[in-house]
Amino acid sequence: MNTWSWDYVGEIMPQLLEGLWITVQATILGSLVAFALGLVWALALRSPVRWLTWPVSAVVEFIRNTPLLVQLFFLFFVLPSWGVTFGPLTTGVIGLGLHYSTYTAEVYRAGIDAVPAGQWEAATALSLPRRRTWTAVILPQAFRRVVPALGNYVIAMFKDTPMLSAITVGDMLFQANSIGATTFDYMEPITMVGILFIVISYPTSLLLRALERRLVR
């Protein structure tokens, strides 16, 4: 039995906050990868060319339905043997981004499908080139609708970053474990990590719900 010690919490906080910074970096960079790659998948899946849509949909389904942790191990242990070496954080960002891009692709698809057919027709009537139709008419309208849904995936990704500690990224959980391994007292570090996650993700989700009410109407 041990008792909760606030002094101990105070001692370990700087190290946990260092981990939080890495967690936040991983989330932001991972989101950027997921947003960009998801758009690539979504556009590829809308292509009329079957030999493009079929392999892309197979890859997307495969990545979406297998564990992120195993994908991270794959990237971490296999890429170096192919001569590609990244640091742990970069590997983690690629893994997170790739995994969540298969979810954001669906979000974009829904957003693009929701653009009214009249907008496509108007673009054709104005004989806009295909590229302009996408960049000036369809995508700007689609993006506005998908912001809240993308935000939800950013929160989900934030909550998945502790997995990066398994490939030696120094995130919050990694710091908590290394503190616990030296002091043999895991109670305060891991509890604080859990609390920090709630303290950040709950207000963010409230904010997103408010944004959703404003944007989707």
Partner 1 sequence: MTGPLWQLFFEGVWITIQLMVYSALLAGTIAFGIGMARTSRHKSVRFLAGVYVEIFRGTSALVLMFWLFFALPLLGWQLAGIWAGTLALGLSYGAYGSEVVRGAIQSVAPAQREAAIALSFSPWQRMRKVILPQAVPEMMPPFNNLLIELLKGTALASLLSIGELTFQAKLARLSTGESAQVYGIILVMYFVIAFLVTRVMRLLERRAKASIGQKPEKAGWFSRKLPVEELETQIAAAGGNR
Which residue in the set 39, 149, 154, 167 belongs to the binding site for partner 1 (CB under 8 A)?
149
| Residues from 170 through 189 that contact partner 1 (CB under 8 A) | 173, 176-177, 180, 185-187
Distances in whole angstroms, Cα of residue 56 to Cα of each of 51, 69, 121: 9, 22, 28
Stretch that binds partner 1, among 14-22, 33-41, 131-139, 154-162 (CB under 8 A): 154-162
**What is 83-145 written as a DSSP string?**
T----HHHHHHHHHHHHHHHHHHHHHHHHHHTS-HHHHHHHHHTT--HHHIIIIIIHHHHHHH
Which residue in the set 106, 123, 167, 208 belongs to the binding site for partner 1 (CB under 8 A)?
106
Gyration radius of the chain over CA positions: 21
Residue in 178, 203, 183 with CA at minimum distance from that of residue 193: 178
Question: CB-wise, 3 or 127, nearer to partner 1?
Answer: 3
Question: CB-wise, 14 or 67, nearer to partner 1?
Answer: 67
* Minimum distance, C-beta of residue 177 to partner 1, in the bound complex (Å): 7
* Nearest-angstrom CA–CA distance, 31 and 201: 15
List all residues 6 or more positions away from 35 whose beta carbon is below 8 Å from its beta carbon. Answer: 101, 104, 150
Please answer whether residues 87 and 79 qualify as being in contact, where contact means their C-beta atoms are separated by less than 8 angstroms: no
175 CB burial (10 A radius; 0-12, 13-18, 19+) = buried
Which residue in the set 87, 194, 209, 210 belongs to the binding site for partner 1 (CB under 8 A)?
194
Which residue in the set 11, 47, 202, 211 belongs to the binding site for partner 1 (CB under 8 A)?
202
Question: CB-wise, 93 or 197, nearer to partner 1?
Answer: 197
Q: Confirm or reject binding of residue 166 to partner 1 (CB under 8 A).
A: yes
Binding site for partner 1 (CB under 8 A): 1-2, 57, 61-62, 65-71, 73-74, 77-78, 81-82, 103, 106-107, 109-111, 113-116, 118-119, 141, 145-146, 149, 159-163, 166, 173, 176-177, 180, 185-187, 190-191, 193-194, 197-198, 201-202, 205, 216-217
